[in-house]
């Protein structure tokens, strides 16, 4: 896990926030915040908060003064979020492992996680930890990406990387899209002890207003650029090719698809 933290340091948080946020994260962050606000929680925990994209929406949509504890394993990402949201009010930033949360039992009315569970080394432990820190009747709201076929930008990102290293392609873009079987998710939640879970697939068509900026986010806003450097590949060359392929295959807009889950603690 420490190695992953190192890969999200340097300029990665800024490239993630500016190059990926507007194109693949912002829309779903707003949906997550709206869903959370409808529950009227008194206390909220966010895990895998990254650069605070969901956090910002939560602060806008939740009732004023509702405390939000914002966590991420990666300190550089959390530092970026804290700086970006400085002065937003009622936010506490805590570096934390979602598989081993540093909080007391029954402490939060809602736990929120956008596109983080796929990266957890022990997903089952993460579900059990969320259940532990939730108050009775509390809700766990999280989202995961649907498959590559529903999110073609991800397949493009993988294929472009593979063009440069066909014998040992960078594998990062397989991970975020590897956990979308609804039955598997439901079974894991049941095993953890959640009472019931609701699942909704939400499709979205996103305007691709700046494919060059998006390409930079896809390369420099996550560990892909590290994988390229390890293989002695120039990330700038990959950026240029990525922009061209995005233009060719997606044009002015692209489909996105995410799976939203709401699980309840009895």
Task: Report the chain's mean pLDDT, rounded to a whole number.
Answer: 95
Strand-pairing partners, residue 143, are 114, 260
Q: How distant, in Å, are the alpha carbons of 25, 167, 169, 223, 245 from that of 230?
A: 27, 14, 11, 11, 23
**Cβ(196)–Cβ(264) below 8 Å:** yes
The string of pLDDT tens digits covering residues 110-160 is 999 999 999 999 999 999 999 999 999 999 999 999 999 999 999 999 999
Strand-pairing partners, residue 4, are none
What confidence score (pLDDT) does residue 10 get? 78
Task: Using the predicted structure, report yes or no on whether residue 74 has a pLDDT greater than 90.
Answer: yes
Give the strand order in the sheet containing 91-95.
91-95, 68-72, 44-46, 108-114, 134-145, 253-264, 196-207
**Cβ(77)–Cβ(11) below 8 Å:** no
Task: Using the predicted structure, report yes or no on whether residue 196 has a pLDDT greater than 90.
Answer: no
Q: Is 222 helix (H, G, I), strand (E, B) or coil?
A: coil
Return the structure tokens found at 154: 């991800």
Q: Using the Cα atoms of residue 14, residue 12, residue 22 and residue 32 in order, give the sign of their dihedral.
A: negative
Task: Using the predicted structure, report yes or no on whether residue 4 has a pLDDT greater than 80.
Answer: no
Task: Using the predicted structure, report yes or no on whether residue 9 has a pLDDT greater than 70.
Answer: no
Provide the pLDDT confidence category of residue 5 given band limits of 50, 70 and 90: very low
Q: Residue 231, class by beta-carbon neighbours within 10 Å (0-12 exposed, 13-18 middle, 19+ buried)?
A: middle
Query: Any idea of the CA torsion for 97, 99, 101, 104, to the nearest 10 degrees?
Result: 180
Range in 3-17, 65-79, 166-180 the model is least confident about: 3-17
pTM metric for this prediction? 0.95
The string of pLDDT tens digits covering residues 230-240 is 999 999 999 99
Tell me the percentage of the chain whose pLDDT exceeds 70. 97
Provide the pLDDT confidence category of residue 8 given band limits of 50, 70 and 90: low
The string of pLDDT tens digits covering residues 85-111 is 999 989 999 999 999 999 999 999 999
């Amino acid at each position: 896990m420490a190695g992953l933290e190192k890969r999200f340091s340097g300029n990665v948080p800024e490239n993630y926030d500016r190059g990926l946020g507007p194109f693949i994260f912002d829309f779903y962050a707003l949906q997550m915040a709206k869903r959370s606000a409808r529950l009227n929680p008194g206390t909220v925990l966010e895990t895998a908060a990254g650069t605070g994209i969901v956090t910002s929406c939560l602060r806008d949509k939740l009732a004023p003064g509702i405390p939000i504890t914002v966590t991420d394993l990666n300190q550089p990402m959390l530092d970026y979020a804290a700086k970006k949201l400085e002065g937003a009010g009622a936010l506490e930033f805590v570096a934390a492992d979602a598989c081993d949360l540093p909080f007391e039992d029954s402490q939060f009315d809602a736990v929120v996680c956008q596109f983080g569970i796929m990266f957890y080394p022990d997903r089952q432990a993460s579900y059990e930890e969320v259940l532990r820190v939730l108050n009775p009747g509390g809700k766990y709201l999280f989202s995961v990406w649907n498959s590559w076929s529903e999110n073609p930008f991800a397949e493009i990102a993988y294929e472009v990387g593979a063009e440069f290293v066909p014998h040992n392609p960078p594998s990062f873009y397989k991970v975020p899209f590897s956990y979308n079987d609804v039955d598997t998710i439901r079974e894991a939640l049941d095993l953890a002890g959640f009472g019931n879970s609701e699942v909704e697939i939400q499709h979205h068509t996103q305007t691709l207003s700046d494919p060059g900026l998006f390409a930079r986010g896809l390369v420099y806003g996550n560990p892909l650029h590290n994988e390229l450097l390890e293989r002695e590949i120039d990330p700038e060359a990959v950026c240029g090719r990525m922009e061209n392929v995005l233009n060719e295959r997606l044009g002015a807009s692209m489909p996105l698809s995410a799976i939203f889950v709401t699980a309840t603690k009895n």
